[in-house]
Homo-oligomer: A and B are copies of this chain.
Amino acid sequence: MRDTVQRMDTFFDPKSVAVVGASKNVNKAGHVIFKNFAENKRRGVFNGELYPVNLTEDHILGYKSYPSISRIPGQVELVVIVVPALSVLDIMKEAAAKDVSAVVIISAGFSEIGNEKLEKTIVSVAEEANIRVLGPNCLGVYDNRTGVDMLFLPETKVLTTGDEFVATPRPMSGHIAMITQSGAFGAAALDYLAGSQLGVSKFVSFGNKCDVAEAEMLEYFLLDGETWVILLYAEAIEAGREFMKAAEKVTRKKPIVAFKSGKSGAGARAAASHTGAIAGSDRIYEAAFAQVGIVRVRDMEEFFDVGKALAFQPPATGNNIGILTDAGGPSVMAVDECEARGLTVNKFSDSVLDEFEELKKGGKLPRFATNLNPVDITGSATSEMFELSAKIMLDTPEVDGLIVLGLHHTPALQEDFVDRIASLVKQCAKPVVACDIGETEMAMFIRSRFEKLGIPAYTSPEDAARAMAALAQYGKHLKKTGCFNEFLEICVRRHGLRP
């Protein structure tokens, strides 16, 4: 285990890196990758040694260039290979001679197009030399804490008009780790996460995963203090036994969210020609994920939505959800999705109903407010009504998690309802998610305010319900494995809760 972690650490925090295929040509992947490292070194973020390897150049971006790894004077811990597939074997042999610890093969042209033999030969050379390999056919690693950035996709692109646009942004530092088989999806995910202002702890794309695969990455991320939730995109998982073992261990301490594609027949065929993956029966994955407590999602949007929920909020102790709203229709949508996902939205007991009736009698809630659950404080909603109702719902043990559908459109509602709810949420250890609908100024402000205060906020009632379902599912798994209380304590500290 310790050894695994140390070896994996070489990919994310190497003391020395050689980029084979580093180039002066700005359109080459080898240029972009080398420049990422060089820039991060200049900024003092990447602190390892850095060596460009290029047959013809003397210097690249001010660094002395070497014609081969063997000519590099110092030690080389990590080699990043960005040259055509047919040259990779020779470079691997040189890496072996140089006593390199780890290699990332960015290059494509291996098993995904039928060149299994070449890939296997490379792996056997690596094994003999005790080198761990990431890739081939991948984006490699991105870790903005250590400055390791192998993404060959440029951060900005120049349009035909000459304007420069942000194209593949690097997300800010945060607590979501991502493991992806597909590099293209990985790049897109970084774009999504950056634009959604979700922070990433570590990112790894391992493509064909000829050597390092899911299991070891999971073990590594388990011990990474920055990582609170692990997002895993896979088209196939080959080393099933190791994966299950690792996942079982990890989910006792950290949630894993899996997005497994290639479910359908044609999807599996597409996956096979994409990363050479043999997808296998989807039912087997479904059962395996459930067994080890992995939260499986159904589509891309749910992947990020659920990841955000598990990063921001504690798990639920049970299945019964309270819904608080000022908008009747959207609350019906949320209830539908809760039930579809195995949650309940039970009518409150008389004692809870009495608390609401007291508020009504005192003129604190509209007479016509519905309080059976969902609690609909109607279009007359004010910040105070949201606060008073949320308090009852967070206090009662009948509610295991709260969905706040705080639609801002109602005339009397002021935006400070968000702050009021957030302050109540800090005083308990129950999960809360929010939704406001709309794509203009106020809706975006309300959602971003919720998130700034630690409450994940969604653009539709169903998205919020799905996020809550994941919090309940993970809570259930933690209970089953006897790890709930320990995990909850971690959440309490992380999120500064005062239950």
Contacts and interface: CB of A to CB of B under 8 A. Distances in A.
A32 B411 CA distance: 10
A340 interface: yes
Interface of A: 27, 29, 32, 108-109, 112-113, 152-154, 157, 159-160, 165-169, 180-189, 191-192, 194-196, 233, 235, 261-267, 269-271, 273-275, 299-301, 323, 326-333, 335-340, 344-347, 368, 370, 372, 374, 376, 378-379, 407-412, 414-416, 437-443, 445, 459-463
Nearest to A115: B368
28 contacts: A27-B411, A108-B379, A109-B368, A153-B410, A153-B411, A160-B414, A166-B441, A167-B440, A180-B329, A185-B327, A185-B333, A188-B327, A188-B409, A191-B437, A196-B439, A235-B332, A262-B332, A266-B338, A266-B339, A266-B344, A269-B335, A273-B372, A273-B376, A274-B331, A299-B460, A301-B301, A301-B459, A301-B460
Contact of A437 (B180, B300, B323): B300
Given A160-B414, A269-B347, A271-B332, 14 more contacts: A109-B368, A169-B440, A180-B329, A183-B329, A184-B327, A188-B330, A188-B437, A196-B439, A263-B336, A264-B340, A267-B335, A274-B331, A275-B328, A299-B337
Which of A32, A109, A187, A233 gathers most chain B CB within 10 Å?
Answer: A187
A422 to B, nearest CB: 15
B346 A261 contact: no
A124 B379 CA distance: 28
A462 B460 CA distance: 16
A443 B335 contact: no
A185 B274 contact: no
A113 B372 CA distance: 13
**How many of these chains are in the complex?**
2
B265 A166 contact: no
Contacts of A233: 329
B160 A331 contact: no
Contacts of A414: 159-160
Nearest to A438: B191
Contacts of A443: 191, 195
Contacts of A275: 328
A159 B414 CA distance: 7
Given A191-B437, A273-B376, A442-B167, A328 B184 contact: yes
A332 B267 contact: yes
List 3 A-B pairs, minimum CB-CB distance, nearest first. Answer: A195-B439, A182-B329, A191-B438
B153 A195 contact: no
